[in-house]
């Protein structure tokens, strides 16, 4: 289930103390999750150059906790789709996405992952959101490392503000 924010209905509301603890728990879990992102770099094309640049000095995603790439979908939570996804690659992308465990987020890195870029033809998928749900889109062809860092920070804000049910379906 996507950890999106949703309004607490009156029927589900418990005591004020429960709501207080639930919010504090969400803040704690959100803080922990946002600063320990394990990206799965699903790297295909030119954006890989900027991905390499943003992972190393001087830009360095390690400052944001998102440095350690995990090349197994079971061990990662942020799927960074870096570069063009073609129709031949689409089943591979869907399989990797399905193998990741919750909670998971998807970053569409670059113009080709966002919308197909300028490859509007028989071979390229016009945006990976036709195949998998995307949480954050990073424009650029390829995006400058500062843009990627901005995207990671925005994603971290979103994770911090989300609802994180970890013990039951609602808490």
Partner 1 sequence: MPEFELPNPVRPAFGAERDGEVVVNIGPSHPATHGTIQVITALDGENVRRVDVHCGYLHRGFEKECEDHTWANLIPYVDRLNYCSGLINNFAYCEAVETLMGIEITPRCKYLRTLLSEYSRIADHLTCIAASLMELGAMTAFLYLVMIRDYVYEHLAALTGARVTYTYGRIGGLARDLPDGWLTRLDEILVQYEDFIGRIHGLMDRNRIFIDRMRNVGVITPQDAISYGFTGPMLRSAGVPRDLRKDAPYLAYAELDFEVPIGINGDNYDRYYVRMREMDESIRMIRQLMDRLPEGPLNVDDRRCVLPEKPLVYSEIESLINHFKLIMEGPQVPAGEVYTAHEAPNGELGFYLVSTGGGTPYKMHVRSPSFVHMGGVHRMLEGYQLADFIPTFGSINMIGGECDR
Partner 2 sequence: MIAPPTVELLRERLGASAGEVSLSHGMLVLTLPSVELIGVVSRLKTEFGFDMFLDVTAVDWAGQAPRFEVVWHFYSTSHFARARIKTRVPEADPVVDSLTSLYGSAHFMERECHEMYGIVFHGNNDLRPILLYEGFVGHPLRKDYPKTQEQPLVPYRTEGA
> Residues interacting with partner 1, by CB under 8 A?
41-46, 48-50, 52-53, 56-58, 69, 71, 82-84, 86, 88-89, 91-96, 98, 118-119, 121-124, 141-142, 144
Of 117, 131, 135, 106, the residue nearest 41 (C-alpha): 106
Question: Is residue 122 part of the contact set for partner 2 (CB under 8 A)?
Answer: yes
Cβ closest to partner 1, residue 29 vs residue 40: 40
* CA-closest candidate to residue 47, choices 125, 114, 122, 120: 114
From first CA to last CA, the distance across the chain in angstroms is 14
Query: Within 13 Å of residue 32, how many CA atoms lie on the same side as its CB?
Result: 8
Residue 139 contacts partner 2 per CB under 8 A:
no
Region binding partner 2 by CB under 8 A among candidate stretches 14-22, 84-92, 138-146, 160-168: 84-92
User: How many amino acids of this chain bind partner 2 (CB under 8 A)?
Assistant: 15
- Judged by CB under 8 A, the chain residues 92 through 121 that form the site for partner 2 are 94, 120-121
The residue from 32, 88, 139, 146 that contacts partner 2 (CB under 8 A) is: 88
Which of 32, 49, 123, 141 binds partner 2 (CB under 8 A)? It is 123
Residue 129 binds which entry of partner 1, partner 2, none, with Cβ cut-offs from 5 to 8 Å by kind? Answer: partner 2
- Partner in contact with 44, chosen from partner 1, partner 2, none, beta carbon below 5 to 8 Å by kind: partner 1
């Amino acid at each position: 289930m996507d950890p999106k924010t949703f309004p607490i209905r009156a029927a589900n509301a418990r005591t004020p103390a429960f709501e207080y603890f639930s919010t504090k728990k969400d803040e704690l879990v959100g803080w922990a999750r946002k600063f320990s992102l394990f990206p799965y770099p699903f790297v295909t094309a030119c954006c890989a150059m900027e991905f390499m640049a943003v992972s190393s000095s001087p830009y360095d995603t390690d400052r944001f906790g998102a440095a350690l790439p995990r090349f197994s979908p079971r061990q990662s939570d942020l799927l960074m789709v870096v570069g063009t996804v073609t129709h031949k690659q689409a089943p591979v992308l869907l399989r990797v996405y399905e193998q990741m465990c919750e909670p998971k987020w998807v970053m569409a890195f670059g113009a080709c992952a966002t919308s197909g870029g300028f490859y509007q033809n028989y071979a390229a998928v016009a945006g990976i959101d036709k195949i998998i749900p995307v949480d954050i889109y990073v424009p650029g062809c390829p995006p400058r490392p500062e843009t990627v860092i901005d995207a990671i920070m925005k994603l971290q804000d979103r994770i911090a503000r989300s609802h994180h049910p970890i013990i039951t379906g609602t808490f």
